[in-house]
Amino acid sequence: MIKVDLTGKNAVVTGATRGIGLGVAKALAASGAKVACIGTNEEKLNESVADIVAEGGDAKAYVCNVADSAAVTEVSKTILADFGKVDVLVNNAGITRDMLMRRITDDMWNDVINVNLTGTFLVTRAFVESMRKSKWGRIINISSISGLIGNKGQANYSASKAGVIGFTRTVSKELGNRNITVNAICPGFVDTDMTRVLQPIYIQEITSRIPVGRIGTPEDIANAVLFFASPDSSFITGQILTVDGGLIM
C-alpha cells in the first residue's frame, strides 16, 4: 500500500461490504481517515467494519441503497451528524446484470443504471455541499474499462460506467474552484466475488492478455484511490485512470 497521511480526514465509501469497496475502505482507514462504509447487506457491512476496526482503523457502518434518493438523503444527514464533515468520497457501489443487449429486460437495464450511475450522482450531490463549505474535497468515482471500450454482454453495465466517466469530467469543471478534485478510476479484471464465479478457463484467457501476468487485486485499485485522495493530488482533476495491468482487448 502506498503511504498517504489522511489523519483528520473523513471518508465515505459506497459498496464497502466486499471486493474493491472493502479494499478501499481498509486502505483509507489504514492511512488515518475515519471511514463511513455504505452498503445494502447489513450483516456483511458490519463484518467489514469489524475487520477494519480489528486492524486498527476507525469506521462505521451505514445501510443504504444508493439508488434510493430518499435513503441517500437520510444516510448523508446521519453521516454528517456523526462525522461533522466529509472530505473524501469514493463512489464504488455497482452491480451487473449481464446479458446480450437484445435480451436485456427493462428491469435489468434500469437496475444497473440506477445503482451504478444514478447512485453516483445521488451520493455525490448529498455530500458535495460539505466539501464546498470546507473548500476541500476529493471525489473518486469507480468506473470500469467496460465504460471505455465496451464489453459484449454488458450493454447496461458499459453504458452506466461510461456515464460515470462523463459525470466525472463534468463535475470536475463545476467544483475545481472550490479546491475539490473529481477523478475516476477504471479497473480492469480484478479478483473479486463478482469475477470468481467465472469459469477458470475464461480467467486464464483474460490473464493471458494482461502484460504484467496477473489479474488485479482490490489493493491495486485502493492504491490509485489513495493517490487521488491525497493532498498531493490537488492539481489533478477530471482525469480517468485505467488500472488494468495493460490489458490487451
CATH of the domain at 14: 3.40.50.720
Q: Is 203 contained in some domain?
A: no
At residue 204, the pLDDT reads 85
Q: Is 85 contained in some domain?
A: yes
Q: Indicate if 157 belongs to the active site.
A: yes
Q: Is 207 contained in some domain?
A: no
Q: Is 202 contained in some domain?
A: no
Q: Which residues pair with 140 in a beta bridge?
A: 90, 183
Catalytic, out of 157, 167, 189, 228: 157
CB 184 within 8 A of CB 168: yes
Into how many domains does the chain fold?
1
How many CB atoms are located within 10 Å of the residue 51 CB?
Answer: 15
Q: Is 2 contained in some domain?
A: no
Q: Is 171 contained in some domain?
A: yes
Mapped to the 3 state alphabet, what secondary structure does 104-116 carry?
A: CCHHHHHHHHHHH
At residue 202, the pLDDT reads 78
- Residues of the chain under the 50 pLDDT cut: none
Predicted TM-score of the model (pTM):
0.96
At residue 249, the pLDDT reads 74
The span from the CA of 89 to the CA of 95, in Å, is 19
At residue 192, the pLDDT reads 81
Q: Is 30 contained in some domain?
A: yes
State which residues form the domain around 68. Answer: 10-190+218-243
Q: Is 76 contained in some domain?
A: yes
CB 11 within 8 A of CB 52: no
